[in-house]
Amino acid sequence: MVNQTYTTDVLVVGGGTGGTAAAIQAARRGAKTILVSEFSWLGGMLTSAGVSAPDGNELEAFQTGLWGAFLQELRHRQPGGLDNSWVSFFSYDPRIGAEIFADWVQELPNLHWISGQVPVEVFRQGDLITGVRFSDFTVTAKIILDATELGDLLALAEIPYRWGWELQSEWGEPSAPVTFDSFTQRYPVQAPTWVVIMQDFGEAIAPEIPAAPNENPSLFIGAWDGYGAEKFLNYGRLPGGRFMINWPICGNDYGEGLGRLINSELSRREFFQECRWHSQNFARFIQNQLGRRYGLAEQLFPSSSTAFALHPYYRESRRLVGLTTVREQDILPVAGGSVASIFNDAAKDVCLGVGVGVGEASRREASRREASRREAIAFGNYANDHHYPGVQFPLQPKSLRWGGRWTGTPFTIPYNCLIPAATDGLLVCEKNISVSHIANGATRLQPVVMGIGQAAGMAAAMCVELNCQPRDLAVRVLQAALLQDHRARAAIFPLFNLPPNHSDWLHWQLYYLDNPQAYPASGNCPSWDKSYDSAFDKILIRESHCFQGILHRLDQQKYRFTITTPAENQGQTWQLVTLRSHINEQLQTCPHDQLITVWGRQNHVGNWLLVEHLDEVQK
């Protein structure tokens, strides 16, 4: 392989969440694809970074595309199910996630995966990116995707990018700072976390966790105050008595010298070492406080220290200067509504300072103005969440009550934020999209990035088919392809009450593509058949348990349930929650102190009963 040159249709550099999804989608579409990853596991945040308790897009209606397919496969392969933690509805052994992605890649003969390599040089002809050199080989491709965790191709290709904060004067973001100060200087981006997995050894005595060189136990004092040790551990509980340690409060977020991540390879490695030591010392602190029942997990990750993830969990990256920039306003709910606007009237960066002349920028902007207001290709719903060790940074709220619990306002990701303002031959598909520092707190989550990756992979393959550049690909054609993909059709618009297995799903998605001004502020379709049944429903009910009891309405969208039968659970009180739209509607209309019968699954660490079916209630 030394000095070899590969020629392909699509090259994906980076095997994280977005890159893996992009490569799979491009190859499934028929493009000859090469995926080059740094690590032996694919999946990034979902696997090799150890965050196997993902956040966001948890509602049934939002489980579409490759994200929905991944959850379905996890349900099939994970013994004991996914209801293990309280931070997420889906926690799993990261080895199983890695197996799923590896299997999906290996079943595609036109997808060549090369691991253990990082980019060292980008080739370009004028404004066109043509290839990437790695240490042992070079790849030339028609379309190249930057799926690196830190936007490394952007730097190598000298494509304009952002790193750090934007002031409120930039785009009028309500949560942005008015001036730069010592805080914005200390934390130019959000802090990463080096996830470590701990194990409950039960009656056995766990090996002592040694101290790392930068040990300072005082940093961790008060980590689980207000929660208690048991709830703290169960935050990211995994199957098999394991615990994902990814804790923001006096925990293992690490933000010392964040600029080192992009300064040089040497400074990045220095940061890595300190970050990993910090997590080791936090695990040691947990063991010292809670006892030798808890130790480092064994034989988990494919490395010499198998309890530690293969790399840090990055929350932020270099961020592309793209044709469109997602700002905080684009992720907040519309006035009086439960969704963000799909009219992405976002900041356009093609005018000045990014290598495009004013006249050319104006021409491109004029031809794109109408289309840019309808260009959604993925969506997310997570609350805007920022991590700065020791600092609580206030953000505009975007949470809402739904299904008996808190969730987040759904928002869309526009296609143009994947495209460089003045460079062809390249798309981005990780946390490196064109997004403000503030809005990145919501766009960075695993399901969103997987959706972005799927869309980028589809776009790349279609550009090869049509012999065009990403900026010239008709977004409506891309959207239709995503909606009608034969393996993992992906929703374009978030609709609370339209699950992907519903017969009207495609109709309403296409309707709002053609009539975006009709998209409802409530996020609910105005008319649909609530009486549908499907094989998926029957599977969910078959995997559930039946409970009868009294429903107590404590508040708007806040329910308690006292079990009367079965006898072994009699008198127990649980929170009722659901991820299903028709169950959400039923719960909203159930009278207080009503006897009801539900089918669902108990989550003992979250003390909730996840309802999959609710018998019709006589009012």
Q: What is the pLDDT of residues 95-126, one digit of tens each?
A: 999 999 999 999 999 999 999 999 999 999 99
Band the pLDDT of 534: cuts 50, 70, 90.
low
- What is the per-residue pLDDT for 353? 36
343 vs 14 pLDDT, higher one: 14
Confidence band, pLDDT 50/70/90 cuts, at residue 53: very high
pLDDT of residue 351: 37
Q: What is the DSSP string of 298-365?
A: -S-SSSSSTTB-SS-B-S---EE-BSSBB-GGGTSPPTTSSS--SS--PBP--SSSSS--HHHHHHHH
Report pLDDT for 556.
87
* Mean pLDDT within 584-592: 94
Q: Fold match between 4-163+316-516 and 535-614? A: no
Q: Provide, rounded to the nearest whole percent, the portion of the chain with pLDDT above 70.
A: 92
Choose among 513, 470, 478: nearest CA to 493.
Answer: 513
CB atoms closer than 10 angstroms to residue 158: 11
Q: How far is CA 155 from CA 112, 121, 158, 263, 320, in A?
A: 25, 10, 5, 11, 10
Whether 365 shows a pLDDT value over 60: the answer reads: no
Question: Under CATH, which number does the domain 4-163+316-516 receive?
Answer: 3.50.50.60
Cis peptide before 414 (omega within 30 of 0): no
pLDDT for the residue 368: 46
- Please compute the mean of the pLDDT values over residues 36-56 and round it to a whole number: 98
Q: Tens digit of pLDDT for each residue in 198-224?
A: 999 999 999 999 999 989 999 999 999
Q: Which carries the bigger pLDDT value, residue 605 or residue 349?
A: 605
pLDDT tens digit sequence for 298-324: 999 997 789 999 999 999 999 999 999
Going by pLDDT thresholds of 50, 70 and 90, the confidence category of residue 3 is confident
Query: Percentage of the chain with pLDDT > 90?
Result: 89
Both tokens assigned to 398: 């975007």
Q: If we measure between CA atoms, which residue out of 403, 310, 363 comes closest to residue 62? A: 403
The pLDDT score that the predictor gives to residue 374 is 67
Tokens describing residue 393 = 């940074």
Alpha carbon distances (Å) from 585 to 498, 579, 602: 12, 11, 21
> What mean pLDDT is reported for the chain?
93
Asked if 610 contacts 89 with a C-beta cutoff of 8 angstroms, the reply is yes
pLDDT in tens, 62-99: 999 999 999 999 999 999 999 999 999 999 999 999 99
In this predicted model, what pLDDT tens digit does every residue of 495-530 receive, in sequence order? 999 999 999 999 999 999 999 999 999 999 986 555
Q: Where are the domains of the chain?
A: 4-163+316-516, 196-296, 535-614
Mean pLDDT of 448-470: 98
Please determine, for residue 382, whether its predicted confidence score (pLDDT) is greater than 70: yes
HSE of 390 in the Cβ direction (CA atoms, 13 Å)?
10
pLDDT category at 531 given cuts 50, 70, 90 is low
Q: What is the arithmetic mean of pLDDT over 231-257?
A: 98
Q: How confident is the model at residue 352 (pLDDT cuts 50, 70, 90)?
A: very low
> Residue 535 pLDDT more than 80?
no
What pLDDT does 526 receive?
Answer: 87
Is the pLDDT assigned to residue 540 strictly greater than 90? no
The listed CATH number (2.60.40.10, 2.40.50.140, 1.10.10.10, 1.10.287.70) that belongs to domain 535-614: 2.40.50.140
| pTM attached to this predicted model | 0.94
Residue 183: pLDDT over 50: yes
CA atoms of 342 and 600, how far apart (whole Å)? 34
181-210: average pLDDT: 97
Q: Express each pLDDT in 411-449 by its tens digit.
A: 999 999 999 999 999 999 999 999 999 999 999 999 999
Is the per-residue pLDDT at 371 higher than 50?
Answer: no
For residue 230, which of 573, 607, 605, 575 has the smallest C-alpha distance?
Answer: 605
Please give the Cα distance from 433 to 415 (Å, whole number). 10
Per-residue confidence (pLDDT) for residue 305, from 0 to 100 = 80
pLDDT at site 532? 54
